Structure 1
């Protein structure tokens, strides 16, 4: 009997996208590499650029769906496998996840999902002997999987237990579970328009949020959407668009964006008329920020430097925005890899960095100036507790409470102390894809004269 010839990705439509998805999943789950790095960063998978736009979009959605639903997928596969997922062949595990995710949540015919997953394991030497198993399990998934998902619909299997337990302690069980369920929904595309937001909501078949952000369900390459090339708007989650507004009128003022890349807040401040000094330690991320400014026809001074070491500019600084590095647990809707890359132990190291950044910002700020501190984290140590510690250590700073009118009269976005706290379950919508916000914290402080 002749040896079986395995088809190459170029010979079987859709297989290349699934092989790259399997590689990237392995990078996240076994090599602790971020999605951003593997998709767009310096270490991007070499095959990503070779994919057609449609296949690239499919690959991205596959990876995101699996990571967003990883706990539920684990439950389903454990019920369909007598001996558990094979541990000696990572490609078999990936093929099962990829096939099941397509069957359960994606608009892919069941037979295609099964066939391409089988081909995926056949093309891997270590996994090839599991082709029959993958075929049988995914066929059962097509028949029984929906009922198995329904068994756990009300549970929160897709949030790591350590994280869910923290949220229950800090937000209460009902809110914690609402947050976890909201994170499981595929998010919309949020954009900030330079002008005429209502017009862009219409052109992009979206809707206006109360905060002024345009939200749309359009998919595909962002660069191909109307208005992108001419610099009419930029992508920015609705919650991320709020902190830069807390400076009020910045016309003619010098504002430092101390951890600036990728630049959404720098862009907001520049559009509002500020002289912005954007500081970031990453040359590659700063290049991307400059490219965005050029596309949008906006100006900002850019500095590649470690914010903690930066000596400051040559002019008095009226305001400083510290969008500090953090665990990013508030962005899991858009970055589902965060759930599986972060550990509770990461919080201490990041809060130490946040403390140094806040101390630096305080020293650079002119008397009477405004400091806005924000993080895309849901963890109190990186939010209210960090600000409380700073205020206790710096007698020359005071909190300036945020008014509901500054956040579109959405009082539920404010804490009793007057800080901003958005949650993934905020702004609910009949269509879950059009609801929700990234989890953000922001506080506004003033330096004494």
Structure 2
């Protein structure tokens, strides 16, 4: 009997230790899968003679579907628990990976992106909240930081890995999405062995009614974070939708790996920046991010305008600092202001703003390419982005008190 008790205690302790890295890897994997198709856009473009506007549609339907899922299922894990929502999202994601493998035309790709967006929207709020809850009580800032850098690390690794597979594999689509399907299946099984971090409570069906709700304690901080969130995700939308075309048409780099490297630099630096700045308070982190965003996007636009690949990548790296630190600072500022049972709903609201910024500007930009040209469209897009970054700088300077990590 003592042996059995000790065994159960050891098993429970192992499960708790496993929870934080597993949940972080799962969140990373969903965003890995989100950016994986972008380097393959070159392949789809050549195979089916697609224009830049069609590529932005392929990108944007993912973000719109994700937004729909966030608005409906974003808070349901506050009621039924994190694990059921995560497992459901993984199952839907595996279905999306299968659709990519089976795709024989652009409409299949669009449908797969819709299903993938729904899967990511189902789990994003739940996983972000679960990561914060899985962190030790005295290190909740670690959970908040992991929740903010995992998506960026995933976007970087997904684009880079997909670009490498495209460059060196004869079956890049099959290799990419079959591997992801297997990975999601394994993590889905492991999810059953970690503890549930949320206490179930009534109201699950009511939570499916689309709404965005921020508790009064977080109203001011949330509104102050909006310009930073918009600028960050507008930048992400630019790189995942138009930069693959920019690499071939303006910078004259025709290897599919190039767009993967560009996306990886942006998001990879973005994932590292919060780690380097982890000792800074949330306000300082956000201010550094806003400055880096404005400077980095300006340098990137200069690189695109003069056709300089080195200047483009320098600007991308500087913008990456802003990309990661502005978003991380926003999450770290909001996290302590909400109760545990409100976290999924608040993070869902944050991602609603994120994915509206991620998709709508990219859709508009895609429609503007034909009449005005790719370069002119990106210059205007970049100018709006810089304006939002400067607005984030202003709101950060006049905002509330800083929060230590």
Q: Would you call these one fold, judging by a TM-score over 0.5?
A: no
Higher relative contact order (CA 8 A, sep 6+): 2
Larger helix fraction of residues: 2
For the pair shown, the structure with the greater C-alpha radius of gyration is 1
Larger strand fraction of residues: 1
Structure-1-length-normalised TM-score:
0.28
